[in-house]
Amino acid sequence: MGIADSTLSLAQSRLGVAAPFLIEQDWNAYTPEQHAVWAELVSRRMPQLREHACQEYLDGFEQIGLREDRLPDLKSVSARLLPRTGWQSTPVSGFLPPDAFFEMLAARMFPTTTWLRSRDSMEYTPEPDIFHDVFGHVPMHAHPVFGDFLEHYGKICAGLMADPVALERMGRLFWFTVEFGLIRQDGQIKVYGSGLISSHGECTRVLAGGCEIKDFDLDAVLDQKFDTGAMQPVLYAVESFDQIYEATKQAEGRLV
């Protein structure tokens, strides 16, 4: 058994329903064209994000060693994340069923796709790719409070698998924080949700006032329906990451 095999089987041994979805990332198989697409995606996003992403995202980007010129090696990303927050960026074969997804969050293993969009779909992919997953999500996992929140969120949802109504409401909490969250910092609206971090078009529209921004309110978020395929008409801004962690605990008290 090689080093790569033992990493995979060690990760699998910690999981139940999610274990069959784990794969190795074959980093050496990425082509120069794919590295070039990654570089173009990153260089297109960074000028706006340096100005409008929350500081925790920008710090996390540096801390996990993301580079503009090449696709990330998930093992080295995880090697930098683990000592900070206990999180890992764990390669998976594709879209996970909810029970497997929540099991991995509860284990601080972020399910990470390894495929990259092609040049003809630079702006949008219906399913997440490595750009959305790593560039969009993983830098925030270097932040201790955000990391604690996300693990706790996974644990709560893993316990709600028999309650589809509660699970749908918790899905809205995820959507309006992890995927499309905004935060007020220094009197300005900053982005931290992966869908905004990784999408130039949607982020530009939100920053230009193209969607209503409400103060985060747990009840409103749990009731707010959303359409995954459309631009978002309303988003929510938190004051701090402690606020979403506290809101998640409150939601747990009501739903579980």
Q: Which residues are catalytic?
A: 132, 137, 179, 198
Give the nearer residue to Fe ion in terms of CB position, either 34 or 194.
Answer: 194
Give the nearer residue to Fe ion in terms of CB position, either 177 or 194.
Answer: 194
Q: What is the number of the residue whose Cβ is closest to Fe ion?
A: 194
The CA-based diameter of the chain, rounded to the nearest angstrom, is 55
Give the Cβ contact number of residue 235 at 10 Å.
Answer: 24
Give the nearer residue to Fe ion in terms of CB position, either 85 or 194.
Answer: 194
Give the Cβ contact number of residue 192 at 10 Å.
Answer: 26
Give the nearer residue to Fe ion in terms of CB position, either 95 or 254.
Answer: 95
Q: Taking CB under 5 A as the rule, does residue 194 contact Fe ion?
A: yes
The residue whose two tokens read 């503009």 is 68
Min CB(63)–Fe ion separation in Å: 20
Q: How many residues bind Fe ion (CB under 5 A)?
A: 1
- Torsion angle of C-alpha atoms 33, 25, 181, 186, degrees rounded to 10: -80
Min CB(61)–Fe ion separation in Å: 16
Which of the ranges 54-62, 143-151, 155-163, 192-200 carries the binding residues for Fe ion, by CB under 5 A? 192-200
Min CB(72)–Fe ion separation in Å: 16
* Residue 65 zone, left/alpha/beta (φ > 0; ψ -120 to 50; rest): left
Which of the ranges 140-148, 169-177, 193-201, 213-221 carries the binding residues for Fe ion, by CB under 5 A? 193-201
Cβ atoms of 229 and 144 closer than 8 Å: no
The residue whose two tokens read 């921004």 is 213
List Cβ neighbours of 29 (8 Å cut-off, separation of 6 or more): none
Which of the ranges 54-62, 79-87, 152-160, 194-202 carries the binding residues for Fe ion, by CB under 5 A? 194-202
State how far Cα 236 lies from the chain centre.
Answer: 17
- The residues that touch Fe ion, with contacts defined as CB under 5 A, are 194
